[in-house]
Each structure stands twice: as structure tokens, then as C-alpha cells.
Structure 1
Amino acid sequence: MAASLAKGYPGISFVEKKTMSWDAAGELSSRSIDLGFSHFLPDADGIVAQRLGEIELAIAAPEIWRDRVADLDLKGLASFPWVWISDHCPMNKVLSGLFDEIGEEPVKAVVVDQESAWASCPRSRWRASPDAYGIFLVRNLEKTLTLHLLSLECRAEEPMIMTMVNLTRKVWA
């Protein structure tokens, strides 16, 4: 996507900066970023949030665990080691709610502070990455997270911001 955008829009460049959703409004306000993605609606004046879409959530596990976890319910899955996310992550709230509903406390093998660390942890520490063993879908959670595109209201009419917002919305359409 970035290569085709560079050809069609030579004045725009995309830089991926991994941060947490709650940091996006501050980064926008300080003008460290032009746009931000967030699973939270910020409580900040001057920030415009546009709903991009819903992200369906699922539980995945290393392929080598398939025989052990494929037919388990949530209670059974709670006993397996989890790479858990900090309390600030919206996925934490969803998973915690699911386990609270059934009265189980999952085994939290490690707690990471960011989605990017969460995704890389199995690759680097437990060798359970898709390229090492493969990942399979254990179950769809029938839950979603909403993704929002954030921008500064005062910059909404800037041609670069308008172009970036329109391009991002096209990708998510």
C-alpha cells in the first residue's frame, strides 16, 4: 500500500509509529503525528474521531497445541498459558470480561504492555510464531473492537490531512 501511495501522492509519506490507543490524542495534540488509530474515543477537545470499522476478535493458539485445545471451552482454555495484555489494552477488557463471566482466572504466563509486544512475544520467547509452527483459530469470540481514525479538528481542512483521511477511509471501506 505504501508504495502505491508514494507514486500517487508524492508529498505524503506514512511512518508507522507503534503506540497505545490512549497515547494517540496526546501525540496528535503535540503534532508528533498527523493521524492516529485508536480503539478508544478520546476525551480531548479538538480531536475528531471517525469510525473506521469493527475488528472481530478470536482466540488463536500455536498449531502444536491443536490436539490439546481445539475442543476446549473457555474454562478449559483458561488453564493454558496466556500471553496477556496490560489493563489499558481494550483486548484485556474483552478477555477479562469473558473469563469473569465464567468465574475463571486464566494462567497469565507473561503480561506485556503493548499490542506489538503481545504479537512479538510468542515469536521471540516461545517460538510459537506462524513462521515457526503455525497458528490456528481456536474460537471466534463473537466480540469486536471498534477502530477509530483520529485527527485534529483544527487541521481537518489541510489538503494533506484530507488526503490521508480519504485514503485511509478507502482502505477500510
Structure 2
Amino acid sequence: MDLNQLRTFVTVAELGHVTRAAERLHLSQPAVTGQLKALEDELCVTLFDRTRGGMLLTGAGKLMLQEAEQALGHAQEVKNLALRMKDKVAGRVRLGTIIDPDFLRLGVFLKRLIETYPVIEIETRHGISGWVFASVAERELDAGFFLGPIEHAAMRGTKLTTVTYRIVGPTAWRGRLNCADWKALAAFPWVWTPRTSSHNSLVSRMFEENGISPARRVVVADQEASMVSMVSAGMGLTLMREDLAFAAEDDGRVAVWRGATLSNPLSFIFRAERSHDPLIEAMAGVIRSIWAPAATAEKSSNARVRGSIIASDRNDPKM
């Protein structure tokens, strides 16, 4: 018995399919099947029932799964301890990024990380929040940035800040927006986002909580720059990060609805089993050092800015 066999067993148990497990482990399907058979032969137990729907754990398999997960966890702890004893954090990390790099402070983060841990190799992959979350959960990425609540027992995160959003529309619709309630908002056409995006879950929750649904979704877009362009062209309403919304309004590209704001936490996420991994600890420590002082200043600044916005909204003769 070796750790590779245990890792294969745990992955097949999690995914329920040999083919999917082979893809995640970057092995051939016969290799995965062979490792499972070798493990079953050595333990003299049947770990899975093979069905048309996939691989189902037997009673013995369920018991063995707990032990296998613990064994893999202990092995990782041994590896982590060895790295700490060497006082050296090294290795390759795959980092998932979202939205725009400046907002994430990505350049500052990566520069400080490399300066502090010069032998870490970093590969960044960009996508929407849902994709980053799924990729970290499936071990395709080591860590990443994520917008939204972390509702997965196997995942952990370090909250960096709360991101505020506004509903925006074409400038030509400003008058209609100023007097619109929730029902009126739903009647407008909407620039929608993919199901796995943070925008999608936030807007969907907004509609659900107010007992309404959008009358028409004219297009689905997954990039904020594209969404700004579509709204500016008069295609519909959408949700936009507050800093982008007010900047676009100042440029005369959109009109901001003042009726309400929405918010989502921005977090640095990773799998729970890697909470004490030196690579994860190194990244989390550096990113906290960058965001913590900024968050304090941002909170104070936001209080002043929001106050001026609210006062401006109330004194707006168009409201």
C-alpha cells in the first residue's frame, strides 16, 4: 500500500467515477483502476460497488475512507513539518484570479510574496469566481480569490474586504431609474452574467428577496468591461462594482440607481486540508499583510464617502 493508492481511492470516492478521478489525478483510466484493484487485493476487501451510475462505496469502503483521509492528512503534516524544519518554503502554486488585478492588489501581493519567499514558483489563472472556487475545490488550483460566501465544508478562506455593488443603467434612462422601485427595475431589460459568477448569485438573491424576477435578459456577459460597454450602449441594466459604477457615471457612460446597494465578501480561498500547508500559510500571511492596513483605511474612507453620497442622493431634485 502506498500514498498514491490511498489518494486514488479517496478521489474516486469523492467523485464517484473512475474517469473523473483519472482526469483530476492526471492519470489514465487503466492506471486508476489498477491502483484500486491493487489496494483491494492487499486489504482483502471490496471498496466499491461498480454500477452504471458510477462507483459506490461499500460498507467496508466507507470505513476505509475515513482512515485513508486521515493517513493522507498525516502524510501532509509530515511534509509540512519537514519544510518548516528546513526553514524553507518552496514549491509551485497555482493561483486563481478574478475581476481586475489592480483591485485585488495582485501585483503588490505577488511582488512581496516572491521577495519574501524567492523559491516559490507562481502560476496565475484568470476566470470568474465560481470557476475559481470549483477549481480550488477540485484541486486544479491551490488557492484563489473568490467573491461570495464560502458555503462548502471542505473549503476555508481569509476575508479581505467587503465589495459593494450598485445597479446601473444607460444614461438615457436616468429619469426612469431615479423613480424606479424594485418592480420597475424588474421590468427593464438586463445584462446578465453566467450562472457560476458572483454577480449572478448576488442579483438572483436580490430578485428573490424582493419577490420579483427580470422580465428579459438580453445578453450574458462575464467581463465587467464588456458589461459597462453594453449598458453604455443602451442594452439594459446590470450590477457593477461601486467604484467602477461611480467612475463610469462621472464619465457620462452610465446612470447609477440610488435605491440600494448590494455587497459580497472578497476572500482568499483554499482547501481546509491545506490550512497548515507552508505554501498556503505563506500566501495567506503575505496577503493579510497587504489588505489589513488598507482595510482599516478603506473602512474609514468609505464611511466619509458613503455619507456624502447619501446626502447627495437626498438632495438630488430628480429623486
- Tell me if both proteins adopt one fold, taking TM over 0.5 as the criterion: yes
Q: How many residues align?
A: 166
Is 1:141 aligned to residue 260 of structure 2? Answer: yes
From the superposition, tell whether residues 50 and 64 of structure 1 become closer, same or farther in structure 2 (CA, over 3 Å).
same
Structure 2 counterparts to residues 77-88 of structure 1, below 5 A: 77-85=185-193
Partner residue, 1:171: 291
Q: Is the CA contact 1:84–1:118 (under 8 Å) kept in the aligned structure 2?
A: no
From the superposition, tell whether residues 86 and 63 of structure 1 become closer, same or farther in structure 2 (CA, over 3 Å).
same
Which deviates more from structure 2 when the two are superposed, residues 33-42 or residues 121-130?
Answer: 121-130
Q: Please, what is the CA RMSD of the aligned residues?
A: 3.4
From the superposition, tell whether residues 25 and 42 of structure 1 become closer, same or farther in structure 2 (CA, over 3 Å).
farther
From the superposition, tell whether residues 167 and 140 of structure 1 become closer, same or farther in structure 2 (CA, over 3 Å).
farther
From the superposition, tell whether residues 140 and 70 of structure 1 become closer, same or farther in structure 2 (CA, over 3 Å).
closer
**TM-score for both structures, normalised by structure 2:** 0.42
Structure 1 residue 25: Cα displacement: 4.4
Report sequence identity in percent: 21
Structure 1 residue 14: Cα displacement: 6.4
CA deviations over 1:16-42 (Å, ceiling 9, x no partner): 521342x44441244322213141424
From the superposition, tell whether residues 122 and 58 of structure 1 become closer, same or farther in structure 2 (CA, over 3 Å).
closer
Larger radius of gyration: 2
Amino acid at match of 1:145: N
Structure 2 counterparts to residues 21-170 of structure 1, below 5 A: 21=130, 23-36=131-144, 37-45=146-154, 47-85=155-193, 89-100=200-211, 104-110=212-218, 112=220, 116-117=222-223, 120-123=226-229, 127=233, 130=248, 133-169=252-288, 170=290
Structure 1, unaligned stretches of length 5 or more? none
Structure 1 residue 165: Cα displacement: 1.5
From the superposition, tell whether residues 51 and 9 of structure 1 become closer, same or farther in structure 2 (CA, over 3 Å).
closer
Instruction: Name the CA distance, whole Å, in 2 between partners of 1:28 and 1:154.
Output: 12
1:8 is aligned, of 112, 120, 139, to 112
Question: Bigger relative contact order, structure 1 or 2, given CA contacts below 8 A and separation 6+?
Answer: 1
Which structure has the highest strand share of the two? 1
Instruction: Name the CA distance, whole Å, in 2 between partners of 1:6 and 1:16.
Output: 13
Which structure has the highest helix share of the two? 2
